[in-house]
């Protein structure tokens, strides 16, 4: 796994973060050292998808990146048939994902380079938004969630993971402190942490957990569970009635 040292030397000015070739090359190291419990999150999401998948329906993974979740889904679904569309707007990400599928000669997962807002979705029982909604401008999030709800069959699920902020300033600061502590423990320097934060400013826009819950309810989801929470990260399961 190539080591992420993208932000280790001074960059001036720091350009906005992009999922370009340089990031794709180190993505697995970057995400594991930047998202607490990342491996746990994608493994449980794949297991939830396998458990609640309705035969004959579709799975959509929006912002699928290089396919880490898809690889685990193939493992947990074993020989069961399913149909998944992985969507991402980064060509280098999809190239990396495609190479992994070609190695397995796997036809159950198709890939589409597109903006997730533009994808036609229907007859789904599982839709995954793992660390991706946060990259969409907040005013556009409601429409996407409504579209996702409409595309799901009754009993269908949305798996949502997001970086979040706390509505109380002191708890927000506490969460930030623990998050930067986590990144230091993972070997990132203060320079790397601060330059990455600058790069993500106005690119990754976190909301409060309450804002996500309200949006999910407004979009029509009947049952919602926050099945994992680590300071400023939350994974939710939302069920269409």
Specify the stretch interacting with ligand SAM by CB under 6 A; choose among 46-54, 82-90, 187-195, 219-227.
Answer: 82-90
Q: Which of 30, 72, 93, 145 binds ligand SAM (CB under 6 A)?
A: 93
Select the residue interacting with ligand SAM from 33, 77, 86, 88 (CB under 6 A). Answer: 88
* Cβ pair 156, 57 in contact under 8 A: yes
Binding mask of the shown chain, residues 52 to 71, with x at each position contacting ligand SAM by CB under 6 A = -----------xxx--xx--
Binding mask 119-138 for ligand SAM (x = CB under 6 A): -----------xxx--xx--
* Least distance to ligand SAM, CB of residue 11, Å: 20
Residue 49 in the binding site for ligand SAM (CB under 6 A): no
Which stretch of DSSP H or E encloses residue 184? Answer: helix 169-185
Three-state SS letters, 74-98: HHHHCCCCCEEEEEECCHHHHHHHH
CA–CA dist 219, 111 (Å, integer): 26
Q: Which parts of 124-217 are beta strand (E)?
A: 124-130, 152-165, 207-208
State yes or no: residue 160 binds ligand SAM (CB under 6 A): no
Q: Pick from 91, 82, 93, 94: which is nearest to 125 by CA?
A: 82
Task: Enumerate binding residues for ligand SAM (CB under 6 A).
Answer: 19, 31, 42, 63-65, 68-69, 87-90, 93, 115-116, 130-132, 135-136
């Amino acid at each position: 796994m190539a080591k992420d040292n993208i932000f280790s030397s001074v960059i001036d000015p720091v350009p906005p973060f992009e999922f370009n070739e340089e990031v794709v090359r180190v993505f697995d190291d970057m995400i594991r050292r930047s998202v607490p419990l990342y491996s746990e999150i994608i493994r449980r999401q794949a297991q939830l998808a396998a458990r609640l998948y309705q035969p004959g329906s579709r799975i959509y993974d929006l912002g699928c990146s290089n396919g880490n979740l898809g690889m685990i889904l193939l493992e947990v679904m074993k020989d069961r048939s399913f149909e998944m569309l992985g969507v991402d707007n980064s060509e280098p990400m999809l190239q990396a994902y495609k190479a992994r599928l070609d190695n397995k000669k796997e036809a159950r997962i198709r890939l589409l380079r597109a903006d997730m807002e533009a994808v036609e979705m229907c007859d789904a029982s599982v839709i995954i938004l793992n660390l991706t909604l946060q990259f969409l401008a907040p005013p556009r999030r409601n429409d996407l969630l409504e579209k996702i709800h409409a595309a799901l069959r009754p009993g269908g699920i949305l798996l949502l993971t997001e970086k979040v902020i706390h509505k109380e300033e002191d708890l927000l600061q506490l969460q930030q402190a623990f998050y930067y502590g986590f990144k230091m423990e993972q070997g990132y320097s203060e320079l790397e942490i601060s330059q990455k934060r600058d790069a993500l400013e106005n690119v990754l826009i976190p909301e409060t957990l309450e804002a996500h819950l309200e949006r999910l309810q407004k979009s029509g989801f009947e049952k919602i569970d926050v099945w994992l929470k680590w300071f400023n990260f939350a994974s939710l399961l939302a069920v269409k009635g």
